[in-house]
Each structure stands twice: as structure tokens, then as C-alpha cells.
Amino acid sequence: MVKTEFTEAVSYLSSTVSRSPLLPWRRYQFPIDWTAQFAAAVAAALHLEIGFGDGRYTARRALEHSNEFFVGLEISSASLQRGLRRIKKEGLNNVRLLKVGANFAVQHLFAPRSLSSITVNFPDPWPKARHEKNRLLRRDFFKLAASRLQTNGVILLATDHPDYLEFSKAEARATNLYTLRQAEPPAAVFETKYALKWRSQGKPLYYQVFEYLGTQTPVYPILKRDEIMPHAILLGSLPGQIQFEKQVIPYASGHVILHELARSLGGDGLASERWLIRATIDEEDLRQQVLVLVQRRGSYELIVRIESFGDPIITKVMRGAVHAVTEWLLTLPADIRLKERAY
């Protein structure tokens, strides 16, 4: 990648640690340096909880083990807010909550052999056969999780759903990576919001431990992030009349979709006009919506770059969005020429 004098876009990754329990994980290099995030001098046992709901179990556990680190994942914004309120109210500084799905997070945010445990309390059961593919504790996940667990690290499952229990046991056994045992759960496990609901309905509750044997797992590469915001510089000015059509462009190992273009006028009208192109960047396990910006720079230059809005994760495929817009600009019936590509 070419380095230019364009400094605004360079080095967008943060080197400071988050002061809030809500971790803006998109801003950090992967895998996350958890010891630094917890502002700790030395590493401590690192525990992950997937789908923490209202966070009451997370908080209880973190209070009981104040010298260990707890990371909670949620995909629901409402749960995230509830969990965050609870962690803040308890004044816990050994918990970080992230809004991100489990598969992506386990693979890219945690180094191999870094986790002591992964807790999954009352996962969505997806009871219909055709929805089984949505269950979290499938064999692919067991393999991925093993690659991030320490030897003898555990996956701890609580469920009210006998089918899910049997399904997850069969999936774990199929990997040959775990020993399975039933154990007495910590009291708080059956006092989460969902456990209390099921208990009040008289449903039986199950607790299952999957212990990683330490045998070889497949290798799951961690997403490599570019340090530099991709951009291109063109010579020319934005034409007044344009036609824009949706485009789908294969790039690197994924796809870029350019959906629509919006023109934004600044204070001095056309002179500060910006074009914002809404794009989807589609790659394995990661789908991002971004804005590609085309803007005047100096008197006769245009810059094409990714807007930093939304904390995009800059990957190889993301560079394809700058490429696609640059190539499209060069096809316009205007005197636009390429000065440099930095992507």
C-alpha cells in the first residue's frame, strides 16, 4: 500500500483503552489485548459469556471473582443496555461488554488458548428442525471454541431444553475434542432471568460441562486489519449530472455492493459538495454497511475514502469499495483522471 501525505485517514485504530465497560471493539487491533483493556499489570483468567441477557449472572460472577476478567457478548441492544446498567451500578471494573455475535468474536477477538471458560446460559433453542442450523452449540462452534480455550478450559451450558442438551452433547462428541460431564451448577446459573422464568413454569433445568482435552484443533485465522484507511486521489471535479446504478463487485475473498449515491451540499453549495455512496462489504462472518465518500480536495483534486462513521473494520475486501467507486468515477463522462491509489 502506498503512503501519501493524506494524514487524516491514516492510522484509524485506537491505542488507548476503553474506560467504559462497553467496549468499542471495532476500534482495536485483533485479537484484543485483554490484559491492556482491563488495565492489568499481569494476565488473569479470562472468561467469556455468550448472550448475557440482563447481565445478572455476569455481575454476580465478576463480583465473586474480582481478580479475574469477564467478557460478555450480546447481539440485542436492549440486553446490552440492561447489562451495562447493571455492571455500572455494581462498579465492576473486571467486566467488558461487547455488541457482537459469538462466532465472529470467538474467532477474531480472542487469541488461541486464551480463554479459561465460555458460558452459555439458556441459548435460544431453535426447536424446529429446519432452524437447527441457527443453534450456537454446533460442531463447528465447538471446534472454533476449542481453538481459543486453554487445555482443560470449559464450555458451561445451562438449558431448559432437553433436545438442545442432547444435540449439543452429540455435536461436541463428534469433534473428539472434549470430555463431557454433568456437574452441580453454581447457584447463580439457575437464577438468571430465563432460569427463573422456566423454574416458575416447573420446567427441569440442565447443566452440562464440556472440557477441552487440549488436542489439536483446526487453525482459525484472525482477521488481519489494515492500519491505513484506503483511499484514492483523482484529478478533476465532480460533474453536475450523473446516473448511478447499483453494482455488485467481487473483490478479494468477498463482495462489494454499491447501493445508492447521495449528494450532500455544504455551506458553500456546489464548491463543498460531497458524494456519499452507501455500500455493503460482504465477507465470511462479517457484513458491514459503510459510506464511501467522494470529496473535493484543494482546487482540482478529488479524494475517495471510507467514512470513519460507524467504526468500519478495514479489511482487504473493504478496500474493494474504494476501488469500485474509483473505477466508476473514471468511467464518468467528465475529465477525471487517476493521481494515486492507496488501497
Give the per-residue contact string, 263-302, with ligand SAM (x = CB under 6 A; - = no): ----------------------------------------
The rounded Cα 245 to chain-centroid distance in angstroms is 30
By beta-carbon proximity to ligand SAM, the closer residue of 189 and 290 is: 189
Among 2, 36, 43, 75, binds ligand SAM (CB under 6 A): 75
Report how far residue 114's alpha carbon sits from residue 194's, in angstroms, rounded to the nearest whole number: 29
* Residue 79 in contact with ligand SAM, rule: CB under 6 A: yes
Q: Which residue has the cell 499481569?
A: 42
* Residue 51 in contact with ligand SAM, rule: CB under 6 A: yes
* Residue 50 in contact with ligand SAM, rule: CB under 6 A: yes
Min. distance of Cβ 54 from ligand SAM in angstroms? 6
Min. distance of Cβ 95 from ligand SAM in angstroms? 15
By beta-carbon proximity to ligand SAM, the closer residue of 74 and 283 is: 74
Tally of CB atoms within 10 A around 49: 25
Single out the catalytic residue among 33, 54, 124, 160: 124
Among 142, 167, 194, 210, binds ligand SAM (CB under 6 A): 194
* Residue 211 in contact with ligand SAM, rule: CB under 6 A: no
How far are the Cα atoms of 76, 158, 254 from residue 161, in angstroms, in the given order?
A: 21, 9, 37
User: Among residue numbers 113 through 152, which ones bind ligand SAM (CB under 6 A)?
Assistant: 121-124, 136
How far are the Cα atoms of 46, 62, 124, 187, 324 from residue 68, in angstroms, in the given order?
A: 6, 7, 27, 19, 46
User: Among residue numbers 158 through 177, which ones bind ligand SAM (CB under 6 A)?
Assistant: none
Point out which residues pair with 249 in neighbouring strands.
Answer: 256
Min. distance of Cβ 220 from ligand SAM in angstroms? 16
Min. distance of Cβ 271 from ligand SAM in angstroms? 46
Is 124 in the active site? yes
Q: Name residues whose C-beta falls within 8 Å of residue 60's C-beta, 6 or more positions apart in sequence.
A: 188
Strands of the sheet with 337-342, listed across from one edge: 247-251, 254-266, 269-283, 286-297, 301-306, 231-235, 337-342
Provide the grid cell at 209: 460441562
Q: Name residues whose C-beta falls within 8 Å of residue 8's C-beta, 6 or more positions apart in sequence.
A: none
Q: At what angle do helices 139-148 and 162-175 cross, to 10 degrees?
A: 60
Among 192, 217, 288, 295, binds ligand SAM (CB under 6 A): 192
* Residue 101 in contact with ligand SAM, rule: CB under 6 A: yes
Which residues sit at the interface with ligand SAM, rule CB under 6 A? 50-53, 73-76, 79, 101-102, 121-124, 136, 192-195
